[in-house]
Structure 1
Amino acid sequence: MRPRLLVLRALGLGDLLAGVPALRALRRAFPGYETVLAAPEQLAAPAAASGAVDTLLPASAPGRAVPARLDWAGPPPEVAVDLHGKGPSSHLLLHRMRPGRLLAFAHPGTPGIAGPEWTPDEHERVRWCRLLEWYGIPADPDDLLLPAPEAASPFPGAVLVHPGAESAARRWPAERYAEVVRELLRRGHRVALTGGPGEDALVRRIADAAAGTTGATGAPGPATALPAASGAPPAAGVPERVPSATRAATAPGGADTAATADATRTASDPQAAGSRTNDPSTAGTTAPGGAGTAATADEGPAGDGASVAVGSHLARVPGAPDAPGYCTARAAVTGEAGAPHARVPGAGGAASGAGASAGVGRRPTAVGDPGARLRVFAGGLPYERLAALVAGAAAVVSGDTGIAHLAVAYGTPSVTLFGPVPPRWWGPPRGARHVVLWHPGPPGDPHGREPDPLLLRIRPADVLTALSDHPEVPRP
């Protein structure tokens, strides 16, 4: 029997994808071990696609809390790694497994565990790679691309719009998504609307509203005029549009410096403002495997970084030096080959076999035309179909959710809308391929019951401009 390595990350899809660099580092450090990932069973397919997991041990908890127990069989693991949170609950869960070694962040509640200090303001991918490097395990935060899916896209070449989010605070208003979809159709784009479990009504509402100016044959009707920028204050609930001439108004290194690359989102650290939490005492998260990408469970900041657009898209302070975590807005994107797929025994949806890594970072060519200009994919697609749809899309438009991470993993151009959680915690990596729309301001409550004020400052015109100006999004 091979020695076993147990990794705890019982969170959502976006969290798993943000943890891929650390998982691959562990695979390289322990090549002869069976890597067992404790995570929701719905994540078996993306876990296999990472090429870094052999077996998925189903594990989850209501409200994304730390699981009470793990159904581990056999002798204790030789190594256990806490990629779930800052402790102490997740530390103690693994400690009860009596592993030979336990790798985790230091925490006063578990003084017997030596590890690095938890840093609240740190990008999620960077955080977990830093944890491993403290233990002498080299890790590359940019090792995150997945092999291209084997399945064909059900609607290739469409702009994929995903309006859902785990909480209202991060959910852009449906009528604004409808305005974006309507204008994309008018311009000749095909549009795929997707929704997770429980989001059918939201997706249908947007589809119906977008079709209000579209003929029965799918030919778009007259465009709805987008609000023009003006010097007057915006009406209540309407996000202010920052004219391009004023996007880079702050001093170099200030909050409006665009193109942040490596960010982190804070989880349940009560002292970290705007943190995403999996602590059961806090509100609003998605079901396991859903689109939400909350952070660490009992615990604290955890996140992912991106190119930031202030008010519109890809702004940068002229002359600002490139610093760690920042990048030039038009920097090239470099893909790298990943490890071959690992099949997850006994877990449905295992990925393709060895050799699939040759397709890492490539997007399938859009072939054929299903005919309809607008297609709705509701109810939560199986991962394989969702992955193919994302990988074959012309672009992905969404809030700060798991599907934004999936677009990054498959190298699909994306426009991501941020509000209560700054993109320096969870945005996409550096480069022009992934655009973030965000108005700088103090972090809000990511689990709030109303859309965050910073999110509401983003207007449909900002999203449409980001898409039309994107160098990789094809024109119809």
Structure 2
Amino acid sequence: MSGQPTAVVLRPLGLGDLLTGVPALRAVRAAVPGHRLVLATTEPLRPLAELIDAVDEVLPARELEPLDWPGPPPELAVDLHGKGPASHVIVAGLRPERLLTFASPGYPGPTWYPDEHEVRRWCRLVSEGLGVDADPDALDIAVPPLPPPVRDAAVVHPGAAFPGRRWPADRFADVARDLADAGHDVRITGGPGEVELARSVAAAAGLEESAVLAGRTTSTELAAVVAAARVVVCGDTGVAHLATAYRRPSVVLFGPVSPALWGPPLRPGEHGPLHRVLWHGDGTGDPWGTGLDPALERITVAEVVHALGTLGLRRDQVP
């Protein structure tokens, strides 16, 4: 790192958080083009963080824990984690020459607005704090440099981090069966802890065991599957943000959290907007809830099937 100024950006959260922060990372890069940009994020996200063209180096980090920073104080440190002060202390602890955070006691900066979309929030922080333009639609990341396990699949991702955001498995199975009956190559994805869920969805949909990719793909292989997918059906999860990053058509089911805060952008596609969002909530749900959110429960299989049809995925539109 000697001889080159460094910018450290803190965002050790989940996959969706990483991907919604990409436009802000690009804006930081634009503000300090001669700096080495180091992204402090969780070690499991390293392979995907390395697909972000603005990032030069990944520093392993844990949420709200001090960074193991090996070098001299960076010239710039940016808190893309939260509104503070718990996360502000972490970046301030690096003793940077310049510090960018949202305003909180002892930390000057732009004002935090709780009803602002996650992507636009961080873009505004960088834009106001560093005086550069930040494009909220600059969400793309590189496709992993490996062949995807499957191509042109209809990806059904039934898992979610918390039960409140997990649409019932039998409904995902009904959607998967409808896609398979229409002639699509349906694949059920998920992490290592979601294998049984994925298997149950596949079995209920009448799919072969080979349709289950859950637990059989690395994070980069999953990204490659999404990048090559025909369509993605999922809840409010990191996979939804992968579909956005790779500009693949998607149907995303929201429950406790409003899509106005975390939803995909209305990018144009062949049949209208590239992403379809279903939501019957009022923004008062609990995203960390231990039971199915009532708003998510109100989404029906018929609605999801109809949304897929509006993306050009009706039975008579399968190649």
TM bucket by the smaller chain?
over 0.9
| Structure 1, unpaired ranges of 5+ | 219-371
State the SS of the aligned residue for 1:192.
Answer: strand
* TM-score scaled by length of structure 1: 0.63
* Equivalent AA in structure 1 for residue 122 of structure 2: W
Asked whether 1:57 is paired with 2:59, we answer yes
State the SS of the aligned residue for 2:212.
Answer: strand
* 1:428-452 deviation digits (Å, cap 9, x = unpaired): 0013101101114242011111110
1:21 equivalent among 20, 23, 35: 23
Which residue does 2:93 correspond to in 1?
96
The 1-side partners of 2:216 and 2:184 are apart by 23
The 1-side partners of 2:136 and 2:96 are apart by 26
Please give the root-mean-square deviation of Cα atoms over the aligned residues, in Å: 1.6
| Structure 2, unpaired ranges of 5+ | 268-272
Asked whether 1:467 is paired with 2:303, we answer no
Conserved 8 A contact 1:413-1:472? no
What is the Cα deviation at residue 83 of structure 1? 0.3
Which residue does 1:387 correspond to in 2?
223
* 1:6-63 deviation digits (Å, cap 9, x = unpaired): 10000011111100001011111111111111101122222221101111110114xx
Which residue does 2:270 correspond to in 1?
none
The 1-side partners of 2:253 and 2:308 are apart by 13
Asked whether 1:434 is paired with 2:272, we answer no
The 2-side partners of 1:148 and 1:198 are apart by 25
Which residue does 2:10 correspond to in 1?
8
TM-aligned CA distance change 1:142 to 1:93, over 3 Å: same
Asked whether 1:119 is paired with 2:113, we answer yes
The 2-side partners of 1:33 and 1:380 are apart by 38
* TM-score scaled by length of structure 2: 0.93
1:408 equivalent among 229, 244, 248: 244
393-402 vs 52-61, which moves further: 52-61
Conserved 8 A contact 1:168-1:451? yes
State the SS of the aligned residue for 1:439.
Answer: coil
What is the Cα deviation at residue 147 of structure 1? 3.1
What is the Cα deviation at residue 390 of structure 1? 0.4
Which residue does 1:316 correspond to in 2?
none
Asked whether 1:131 is paired with 2:122, we answer no
1:47 equivalent among 33, 46, 49: 49
* 1:176-223 deviation digits (Å, cap 9, x = unpaired): 111111121112111010011211111111111111xx6xxx6xxxxx
* Equivalent AA in structure 2 for residue 161 of structure 1: V
The 2-side partners of 1:6 and 1:194 are apart by 33
What is the Cα deviation at residue 380 of structure 1? 6.1
Give the length in aligned residue pairs.
309
State the SS of the aligned residue for 2:286.
Answer: coil
Where does 1:39-188 land on structure 2 (aligned, <5 Å)? 39-61=41-63, 66-67=64-65, 69-108=66-105, 111=106, 113-135=107-129, 136-188=131-183
2:299 equivalent among 442, 451, 458: 458
TM-aligned CA distance change 1:47 to 1:458, over 3 Å: same
State the SS of the aligned residue for 2:17.
Answer: helix
Conserved 8 A contact 1:433-1:472? no
* Equivalent AA in structure 2 for residue 143 of structure 1: A
* Equivalent AA in structure 1 for residue 212 of structure 2: V
The 2-side partners of 1:126 and 1:51 are apart by 19
* 1:248-299 deviation digits (Å, cap 9, x = unpaired): xxxxxxxxxxxxxxxxxxxxxxxxxxxxxxxxxxxxxxxxxxxxxxxxxxxx
Where does 1:360-379 land on structure 2 (aligned, <5 Å)? 375-379=211-215
* Equivalent AA in structure 2 for residue 446 of structure 1: P
What is the Cα deviation at residue 472 of structure 1? 7.2
* 1:374-405 deviation digits (Å, cap 9, x = unpaired): 61112262122111100111100000000000
State the SS of the aligned residue for 1:57.
Answer: strand
Asked whether 1:195 is paired with 2:31, we answer no
* Equivalent AA in structure 2 for residue 172 of structure 1: W
* Equivalent AA in structure 2 for residue 33 of structure 1: H
4+ residue stretches of structure 1 with deviation over 6 A? none
